[in-house]
Structure 1
Amino acid sequence: RDERDSAPYVPKGVVVADDDDWADDHRPKTPWPDSVIYELHVRGFTMRHPGIPERLRGTYAGLAHPAAVEHLVRLGVTAVELLPVHQFAHEDHLLRRGLRNYWGYNSIGYFAPHAAYAASGSRGRQVGEFKRMVRALHAAGIEVILDVVYNHTAEGGELGPTLSLRGIDNRGYYRLQGDARRYTDYTGCGNTLHVVQPNVLRLITDSLRYWVTEMGVDGFRFDLAAALARSMHDVDMLSPFLAVIAQDPVLRRVKLIAEPWDVGSGGYQVGAFPPLWAEWNDRYRDAVRDFWRGALPDVRDLGYRLSGSSDLYAWGGRRPYASVNFITAHDGFTLRDLVSYEQKHNEANGEGNRDGTGDNRSWNCGTEGESDDPAVRTLRQRQLRNLLTTLLLSTGVPMLVAGDEMGRTQRGNNNAYCQDNATSWIDWSLLDDTADPGWRALTDLCSRLLALRRTHPVLRSHAFFSGRPQSADGLRDLAWFSPRGTEMTEADWYAPARTLGMYLSGRDIPQRDPKGDPVTDDSFLAVLHGGHRPQRFTLPGPPWADAYDLLVDTSREDQHTAPGTRRRAGARITVPPRTVLLLRAVPPRGGDAGETAQEPGAEVRR
C-alpha cells in the first residue's frame, strides 16, 4: 500500500461553458444496410499525410482537413470508427521502456476528448476542435462512431495508480474478489468496472448521452462488451446495462456495435446480443482467412458468412446487418501482413515477442516478410484483391481498417498497441506515382467495389435470403453452384472444395423504396476459387441467366473491364488460380430450376 498523496500529479478536469445546439449540423443517419465502416486512429491516419499541414497532423483538426476527408469520400465509406478518443493514460511499464499507449484502450476521462489529439490546446479547447471535426465529417456524409472502453479504466490492478474512481469509491466502482482488495478481471487489464452498481451504470450512460447530444457522434463500438453485460458473474442479455440502453430514448437510436466477448469464463457471445445491437463477427474473419489460405475443410461455413451469417443472427428480429464483417482490425496483422507473415514479429514491443496472438490464420505466400521476388509480390497483391473483394461482396456491414486499401504494413507486428511511430502510422507515399502501382490499383479496386455496393441493393440486403424459389420459373433469391454449373448438393457442402459460386437474384428483393414501390436490381454471380491451379467453371443457364458480363477479375491488377467480356450461359470458363470473378447476369427469357439441398444462408424469414 502506498500512502503518498497522488493529487498534485493527477490531471484535472476542465469545465467548458458551451451552449452549442448543433442547429447547423446535419447527421447523415445512414441506414445500417448501407453502412461501410472505416476503422481509423485519429493520430495514425493524419501524421504522415502530405496534404495536411504539419501543425494539424495527429489531431482532430487534421482529420477534419479537406485532404483527409477527400480520401474517405473518394473511397466511399459511410462512417469512421475512431479508436479510443476518451482521455486516457499511459502505463508506467511502457513509459519505462520509452514507449506509449498508442491505441488508447486505457480510459480515465469518459467525458473528455483526449487532449493530445487537439491542435488548438488542452484547456478545454479540444472540445470545440472535436465538434468541428464531427461537423466536417457530417458535411461529407460520413458518420462518426467512437470505440469506447467502459469495461475497465487506466487504474489497472490493485498495484496500479490511484487516478480517479479508485480514490472516490473503490468498492462501488470496481468488481472485487472476496478479500475486497484484489480485482475480478474479465478484461485482461487488471480491473473490471462493476456495471451492475447504479452509480457505475449512470456514469456510463451519462457519458454516452453526452457524446451523442453534446459532441454529435452517431454511435459506439463497445470494447469487450460481454464484460458490460455481466450481472453478478455470468454474461446476461437481460443485464441492467443492456436493459437501460434498450429503453433510453437517445441511445437506442444510435448505432450500437458490440465486441461480443471478454476474457472471462463464458465471455464469448458472438450472435447472442439483443436486436438493437450489431456485432463484430470474428467467425466471418476466420472463415474468409481460412478459405484464402487453403485451410477451410469445407465451404459450408463460408456460405453462411458470405450471405449474412443467418445461423448466428436470424433470431428475435435480427437482420443481416447485425453482422459487422471484417477480415482485419486494429488488433492483429494488417491486410498486407496477413499475406506476408505467418509468425508475429513483436520484438519492438519489448516483451520478448510473447505478446499478441499466435493464431493469425495467415499465409505468407512462400516467404516470411517483405520480398523482392516478383512472383511472391504478384501473388500477395492478388490475395489482397481476393480478400477485399470477398469482404465487400458479402452480405452484412463491411468494416475496413485504415490503410489496408493501400497496402499498409506493420512489418509483422500484430500487437502494435504501443507503437506510436511509423510502424502504426499510415504511409501515404504508397499512393505516390513512384511507388508500386499495385497499391494504387488496390485502392481503386476498393473504391470501385464500394461504388458497386452502393449502387446495387442486392449486395446490401435488408433481410436474410430465403433460398426458396420465388416464382414458377424456379429462380431463387440465393443459390449456390459447384464448378459443374449445377446447384450444390448436401454432399458438396461437406466435401473438400476450393471453388464456390454464389448467385444473388435482384428480381425479388424483399424491400420497398421510399415511395413504397418494390426494389429490383441486377442479378450477380460471384465465383470464388481458392485453388492454386486453374479451375473450369460452367456458367449456370436459365432460369439464372442467358449470359454473363464480367465486372471484376481479381487475377488482374487493372480492373477496368475490357470489351468483349460477355460469356454465354452454359459456357465453360477457366477461372485463374486464387481468383474472384464477379459477373452480372443477363436476364433469361425462361427456364426451369432443378431441386437442391438447403444451402447455408437460406433460412426461412422469421
Structure 2
Amino acid sequence: MSSLGAIVTGEGIRFAAWSSIARRLWVSIFDEQGNREIQRLELQPESEGVHALFGAGLGPGTRYGFRADGDYAPERGLWFDPDKLLIDPYAIGIDRPYAYDWRLAQRRSEGADTAPLMPKAIATALPKPLQAAPPLFQPGGLVYEVPVRAFTMLHPDVPEKLRGTIAALAHPAILEHLKKLGVGAVELMPVTASIDERHLPALGLRNAWGYNPVTFMALDPRLVPGGIMELRNTVAALREAGIGVILDLVFNHTGESDRLGPTLSLRGFDKAYYRHTPDGRLANDTGTGNTVACDHPVVQEMVLDTLRHFVRHAGVDGFRFDLAPILGRVEGAFDPQAPLLDAMREDALLADRVLIAEPWDIGPDGYQLGNFLPPFLEWNDKYRDDVRRFWRGDAGMVGALATRLAGSSDVFATKGQNASRTVNFIAAHDGMTLADIVRYERKHNEANGEQNRDGHNENLSWNNGVEGDADEPAVAIARLNDQHALLAILFASRGTIMLTAGDEFGRTQHGNNNAYAQDNEITWLDWTGRDQALERYTALLSTLRRAVPALADTRFLAGRPPAGSDMPEVAWLTETGVPLDEQSWQDPQRHRLVMILGGVANDERRLAVLVNGDRRASMFTLPGREGFFWAPALETGVAADISRPVSGRTVIFMIERAAMQAGTREKRNGGR
C-alpha cells in the first residue's frame, strides 16, 4: 500500500501527499464535528514529490484536509490556492457528502476559505485485511447492474433507515430476490463519494448515478454511512448467498470539471494528475471537462492502490471500469498493453479479479471494443444494437442476431482467443430501460431541464401503436411479448450477460434515456407495482441457462462436434428445419431463425431456440433423433406446442427428452 494519505499508528498519524511542483503543503486539523480548524501543520518535503508530517497524539476519527501553495495560472493547469481546502486523494472516508457551491470555483484573488463548504477526510484505522478468496463470479454468468440508492428506496420490506444504502442489499428480501434471479454478481454503480455537476442545483436536481467522483477510495456517506465496514459486511452477506460483488469505478475524470469547475482535490495539488493539451488546456476525453492522467506513474499507483484497498478490505470480486480506454491511453493512443492495464493483470492481489471494461470514450482512438486483452470482459454495444434492430424489425438482421447469440466472434475471436469476452446487454443504466425500448420511439428527457437536448437521439426503440403509456389491452400484450422476447434472447446468448435491476419486472423511466439527475420516482424501482409475471419468466430463463451447460458456455460456436461428442455444438436452421444456406442468410426479409445447441460432454440433450421475429405466426419444424422427443424447456404453465403455428414476436425454448423418460412419465401420470 502507498505511503500517501493518513496512516494511523499507535502513536499518531502520518500525513503524506504528493506534489511535484507545490512550494508548500499543510494539513489542517479540525474539531470532532469537522467545523472548526484547530491546527495547521506544514508538511516537509521528503523525496520524489512526497511531502509528509507525523502528528503525534492524533488518532482514528481525526478530521483533516490539505492545503497547497504555488503558482496560480489556470491557463497552464496551475490552481494553487491555500484558501482552498483539498480532500486527501487517499481519503478512506469523509464526514459528509459533497455539495456543489459556486464559491468552490472562485479564483484565488476572489475567494475566501472553502473549509466551511467542504467535507473533511476522516483518518481511519483500517480493519484487518481479509484472507484472499477466489471470486465467486465466473464468465458466462449473470451480472445484475444495481443503482444502490434507487434500488431499495421504495422497497416495502426493507426498513426505512436502510433504504438507499449498501446495507440494504444484505436484507433477506433483497437476497431472496437476487437468488431467485440466479444472479452471479451484483455490479454496483458508483458508491464512492461524488459531487453534483454545477448546473444541477439551480434546476433542483442532483446526480443520482454517482459518475462524478472527487476522489477514488472514500465511500459516499449517503450510500454507505457505515463506511468500509458496511461495504465489507454487505459483501460478506452476498457471498454467503453465493453472489459476488463488482464495483463500478470511475478513474477517467473527477468532479473538478473544466476550467470553470471547483477546486476540490487533485487539481489543487499538481497539474500532473490531469491530461492537458499542448497549449495547456485540460484535455476532455470524457465530455465532463477533464481527463485523469492514467499514464502518469503517480496516478497509476493511486488507481492500483484503490483496487487493492477494495479487494483487501471489502473482499469484492472485481471491477467495472467506466470509459476504460482512458486507462490504456498512452501519449494520446490506446495501448492494450499500457502500463496500468498490464499492472492490473499482473498484480498479485488483482490478477484473479473480474475486470470489465466499458471499451469506449469520446477521446482520440476512443472506440476499442474487442481490443482489451484477457481477462478483461467488455461491454458489447454491438450486441445491444443488433438485438434491438432485429426486434425492431429492421431488414437483413438475422445473420447479425446469430453472430451475437454465438458470442460475437467477429469482435472477440482475435489473437487466438477461443472464448468470448463479451458482456451482452440490451439495456443498461444509461439509455432506455428494457420496458421503455418497446414503449417509446423517441426519448423524453424533459425532466432533465435541458429541453430534451441531452441523451442519445437514436435509441433503436419502437412503440406498439401508441407512444408512451397506453391502457389498450392489445398494446399492453404486444409490449409484454416484446419484453419476453428480448429477455429470452439475452439469456440464450453465449458469453457473460448483464441485466439492469428492475428490467426483470418492467421498470420504466417514462422514456427518459439519460436519467442521471433524477434521484426520485423516475429512477427509484417500483417494487409494489412491478410485473411479477414478467419477473417469474425472467427467473425461469435464468434457471434454464444454469441448467443447460451449452447456454452458459463462453466458447465460440464453430458448428463442429467437440471432443467426446458426435453432435455439432450448434446448427442454424430455417423455421422448416433445414440448414440456412447463403441465400437464406442474406434474405433481407428473413426474421425467423432456429438455433440448436448440442455437443456438450456428459449431456446428450439438445436445446432448440426458436426465434420468430416476424409479426406473423409461423409453423416451426425441428429435426428429430431416434430415442428422443422435443418438449418445452420452460415450465411456464403454457405449453409450447410446435404442432401449431408459433405466434409472432416470440422466442420458444425446446429441449430433447429421452423417449424412455417420456414413457416413465406417462406411466407415472397414468397411475395417479
Same fold at TM > 0.5: yes
Shift in alpha-carbon separation, 1:11–1:50, aligned structure 2, 3 A: same
Determine the structure 2 residue equivalent to 1:596.
none
Residue 86 of structure 1: how far off its partner (Å): 1.1
- Once residues 486 and 311 of structure 1 are traced to their aligned partners in structure 2, the CA distance between those partners, rounded to angstroms, is 25
Question: Aligned runs of 1:484-523 on 2, under 5 Å?
Answer: 484-496=576-588, 497-505=590-598, 508-509=599-600, 518-520=601-603, 522-523=605-606
**Residue 542 of structure 1 contacts residue 588 of structure 1 at CA under 8 Å; is this kept in 2?**
no
Q: 1:39 to 1:293 in 2, by over 3 A?
A: same
Query: 1:471 and 1:126, CA in 2 relative to 1: closer, same or farther beyond 3 A?
Result: closer
From 237, 253, 278, give the equivalent of 1:136. 237
List gaps (5 residues or longer) in structure 2: 1-73, 75-106, 661-672
Alpha-carbon contact 1:346-1:415 (below 8 Å) kept = yes
What is the distance in 1 between the residues matched to 2:656 and 2:130?
46
1:540 corresponds, among 612, 623, 638, to 623
Secondary structure of the equivalent of 1:72? helix
**Structural mapping, 1:152-163, within 5 Å:** 152-163=253-264
The count of aligned residue pairs is 551
Q: Could you say what secondary structure the match of 1:194 adopts?
A: coil
Secondary structure of 2:620 counterpart: strand
Separation in structure 1 between the aligned mates of residue 503 and residue 170 of structure 2, nearest angstrom: 21
* Larger Rg computed on CA atoms: 2
Give 1:110 shift: 0.9
Distance of 1:278 and 1:211 partners within structure 2 = 19
Corresponding residue SS for 1:429: coil
Match of 1:179 among 275, 279, 298: 279
For 1:579, the equivalent position in structure 2 comes to: 650
Deviation at 1:300, TM superposition (A): 1.1
Alignment match, 1:110: 216
The answer to whether structure 1 residue 453 and structure 2 residue 536 are counterparts is no
CA contact (8 A) 2:134 2:352 kept: no
Find the partner of 1:262 among 338, 351, 361: 361
Answer whether contact 2:127 2:313 (CA < 8 A) is retained.
no
For 1:540 and 1:471, the matched residues in 2 are separated by 23
Conservation of the 8 A alpha-carbon contact between 1:222 and 1:259: yes
SS at structure 1 position matched to 2:173:
helix
CA distance in 2, matches of 1:13, 1:470: 57
Distance 1:283 1:6, change over 3 A: farther
State the shift of 1:301 in Å: 1.1
Cα distance change of structure 1 residues 469 and 407 upon mapping to structure 2, 3 Å threshold? same
1:341 maps to 2:423: no
Q: 2:137 aligns with which of 10, 21, 30?
A: 30
- In structure 1, the partner of 2:637 is 560
The Cα shift of 1:520 comes to: 2.4
Task: Choose between structure 1 and 2 for higher RCO, CA contacts under 8 A separated by at least 6 residues.
Answer: 1
Deviations 1:12-31 (A, max 9, x none): 221211333335x9666232
**Structure 1 residues 429, 199: CA separation in 2 closer, same or farther (over 3 Å shift)?**
same
1:292 Cα offset (Å): 0.8
Task: Give secondary structure in 2 for the equivalent of 1:348.
Answer: helix
Q: How does 1:2-401 map to 2 (within 5 A)?
A: 2-3=107-108, 4-5=111-112, 7-8=114-115, 9-22=117-130, 29-33=136-140, 35-118=141-224, 121=225, 125-170=226-271, 172-180=272-280, 182-316=281-415, 318-401=417-500
- 2:282–2:289: 8 Å Cα contact kept in structure 1? yes
Compared with structure 1, are the counterparts of its residues 85 and 342 closer, same or farther at alpha carbon in structure 2 (3 Å cutoff)?
same
Q: Note the C-alpha offset of 1:132.
A: 1.5
Q: Partner of 1:422 in structure 2?
A: 521
Aligned counterparts of 1:223 and 1:548: Cα–Cα separation in 2: 44
Candidates 526, 529, 534, aligned match of 1:442:
534
Counterpart AA for 2:244: E
Offset of 1:109 from its aligned partner?
Answer: 2.1
| Alpha-carbon separation, structure 2, partners of 1:16 and 1:70 | 34
CA distance in 2, matches of 1:386, 1:585: 21
What's the offset of the Cα at 1:573? Answer: 4.4
d(CA) in 2 for partners of 1:475 and 1:328? 34
Q: CA deviation at 1:561?
A: 4.6
Aligned residue for 2:157, secondary structure, equals coil
Q: State how far apart, in whole Å, the 1-side matches of 2:286 and 2:553 are.
A: 35
Q: Residue 360 of structure 1: CA displacement?
A: 0.4
Further displaced range: 214-223 or 61-70:
61-70
Distance 1:460 1:348 in 2: 40
Does the aligned pair in 2 maintain the 1:345–1:411 contact within 8 Å?
yes
How many Å separate the matches in 2 of 1:156 and 1:566?
A: 58
Give yes or no for contact 2:135–2:352 (8 Å, CA) kept in 1: no
Task: Tell me the CA shift for residue 443 of structure 1.
Answer: 0.4
| Displaced runs of 4 or more, over 3 A | 25-28, 316-321, 469-475, 586-589
Q: Cα distance, 1:7 vs. partner?
A: 4.1
C-alpha distance in 2 between matches for 1:216 and 1:501: 42
Q: Percent identity?
A: 44
- Please tell me the residue identity of whatever aligns with 1:448: L
Contact 2:412 2:420 in 1 (8 A): no
Distance change in 2, residues 1:375/1:186 (3 Å): same
Structure 1 letter corresponding to 2:124 = V
User: What residue in structure 1 maps to residue 23 of structure 2?
Assistant: none
| TM-score (norm. length: structure 1) | 0.87
Report the secondary structure of 1:574's partner residue.
coil
Task: Give the whole-Å Cα distance in 1 for the aligned partners of 2:179 and 2:621.
Answer: 38
Q: 2:135–2:354: 8 Å Cα contact kept in structure 1?
A: no
User: What's the secondary structure of 1:166's corresponding residue?
Assistant: helix
The CA distance in 2 between the partners of 1:146 and 1:59, in whole Å, is 14
Q: 2: CA distance between counterparts of 1:32 and 1:19?
A: 30
Structure 1 counterpart of 2:139, one-letter code? W
Contact 2:420-2:556 within 8 A present in 1 as well: no
* Contact in 2 for aligned 1:26/1:139 (Cα 8 Å): no
CA distance 1:6–1:260, shift in 2 (3 Å): farther
Contact 1:237 1:272 in 2 (8 A): yes
Match of 2:520, SS state, is coil
**Residues of 1 paired with 2:565 and 2:213: CA distance?**
58
Answer with 462-471 or 477-486: which moved more: 462-471
Contact 2:166 2:230 in 1 (8 A): yes
> One-letter code of the match for 1:490?
E
Which amino acid is 1:485 matched to? G
| Pairwise CA distance, 1:473 | 10
Q: For 1:560, what is the secondary structure of its paired residue?
A: coil
Partner-residue secondary structure (3-state), 1:109: coil
CA 56–219 in structure 1, closer or farther in 2 if over 3 Å, else same: same
Looking at structure 1, the residues matched to 136 and 562 of structure 2 have their Cα atoms a distance apart, in angstroms, of 32
Structure 2 counterpart of 1:500, which letter?
L
